[in-house]
């Protein structure tokens, strides 16, 4: 076991799968000698060489298209897009090629590729480098979408993604990357966490909080404050992957608590948590004692100003206040 940050856990996952399987290679901008824009691929070029850690031109469509082509011909590419905002430059390759090939060839062609990219705000990177676009990817049939919240999950989910025979969008929150606050003991060696299985991070009986990525950590902090100050017992569910979605773990929790809050960092309009709320309403309406609500960012581009960015994104205090608001209506 090693105490690893989120970034270190993902790097270790990449290193270990590459040591085990020579068909796995990395491709992306500045991932070689430079070590990636966040330093995540640092050291991998020295270990595996230019053949398996491939620097590319500044062209997302080339990176993603190359990965798709190599995947369907027997390789298992891991591609890095520096920021999720830049995936728009290669969206044809994602939504019209990678996502559809296995279906259109009747399963005879597989696309085992992982597109890993930094997502989310809170780091002062401005509107072109801070978006949360998971709902776009989740809307496209054929893609799997992973959003880990902690180092242990990040490694296990990443290894599962690499060995999946479908294209996986692996969204890594940039605020979590180097945070010592959220570092964890992570086992050495290969281990997997199934895609499509959520986890209860904190058992509780008063209200169900469903979250993803960094919002899981903020929800856990809010829950601890409420437990200490108000003796309110929140159950925190980490979806871990949003496609496939583990709706059963949500329904079982709501059946117990009768109340549901869904927390996401993406803009509220058209956000993925609207899907979670809709499925709970369709499949578990009778479990609810109060309306299910969402906590999300406001509907505007992410500001560069730190003060404005913090105002836009859900905070621990905002989550705590909405929990109290829902419980006060009981």
> What is the phi/psi pair of residue 200, to 5°?
-80, 110
Q: Output DSSP code: residue 92.
A: I
Strands 241-243 and 144-146, how do they pair? Answer: antiparallel
Burial of 18 (0-12, 13-18, 19+ CB in 10 A): buried
Give the contacts of 187 (CB within 8 A, at least 6 positions apart). 1
Cis check for the bond before 244: say yes or no (omega within 30 of 0).
yes
Residue 87 is given by DSSP the state: G
What DSSP element (H or E) covers 3?
Answer: strand 2-4
User: Annotated active-site positions, please?
Assistant: 129
* Bridge-based pairing state of the strands 293-297 and 207-211: unpaired
Neighbours of 47 (CB within 10 A): 11
Q: What are phi and psi of 119, to 5 degrees?
A: -130, 165
What is the 8-class DSSP label of residue 303?
A: P
> What CA–CA distances, in Å, run from 117 to 65, 85, 181, 281, 330?
16, 9, 22, 32, 41
Residue of 236, 144, 121, 231 whose CA lies nearest to 194: 144
H or E segment to which residue 308 belongs: helix 306-312
Rounded to whole angstroms, how far apart are CA atoms 55 and 40? 14
């Amino acid at each position: 076991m090693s105490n690893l940050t989120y970034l270190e856990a993902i790097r270790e996952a990449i290193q270990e799968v590459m040591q085990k399987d020579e068909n796995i290679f990395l491709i992306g901008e500045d991932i070689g000698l430079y070590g990636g824009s966040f330093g995540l691929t640092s050291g991998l070029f020295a270990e595996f060489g230019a053949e398996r850690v491939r620097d590319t031109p500044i062209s997302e469509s080339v990176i993603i298209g190359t990965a798709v082509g190599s995947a369907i011909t027997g390789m298992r590419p891991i591609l890095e897009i520096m920021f999720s905002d830049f995936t728009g430059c290669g969206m044809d390759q994602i939504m019209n090629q990678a996502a559809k090939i296995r279906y259109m060839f009747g399963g005879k062609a597989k696309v085992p590729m992982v597109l890993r990219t930094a997502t989310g705000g809170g780091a002062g990177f401005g509107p072109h480098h801070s978006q949360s676009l998971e709902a776009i990817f989740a809307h496209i049939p054929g893609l799997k979408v992973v959003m880990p919240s902690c180092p242990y999950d990040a490694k296990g989910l990443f290894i599962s993604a690499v060995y999946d025979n479908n294209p996986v969008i692996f969204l890594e929150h940039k605020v979590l990357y180097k945070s010592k606050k959220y570092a964890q003991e992570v086992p050495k060696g290969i281990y997997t966490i199934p895609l499509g299985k959520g986890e209860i991070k904190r058992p509780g009986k008063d209200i169900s909080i469903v979250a993803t990525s960094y919002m899981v950590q903020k929800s856990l902090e809010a829950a601890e404050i409420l437990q200490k100050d108000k003796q309110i017992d929140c159950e925190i569910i980490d979806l871990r992957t949003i496609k496939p979605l583990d709706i059963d773990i949500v329904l079982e929790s709501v059946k117990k608590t009768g109340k549901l809050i869904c927390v996401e960092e993406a803009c509220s309009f058209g956000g993925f948590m609207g899907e979670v709320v809709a499925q709970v309403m369709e499949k578990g309406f009778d479990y609810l004692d109060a309306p299910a609500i969402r906590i999300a960012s406001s509907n505007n581009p992410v500001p560069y100003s730190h003060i404005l960015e913090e105002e836009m994104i859900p905070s621990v205090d905002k989550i705590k206040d909405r929990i109290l608001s829902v419980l006060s209506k009981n």
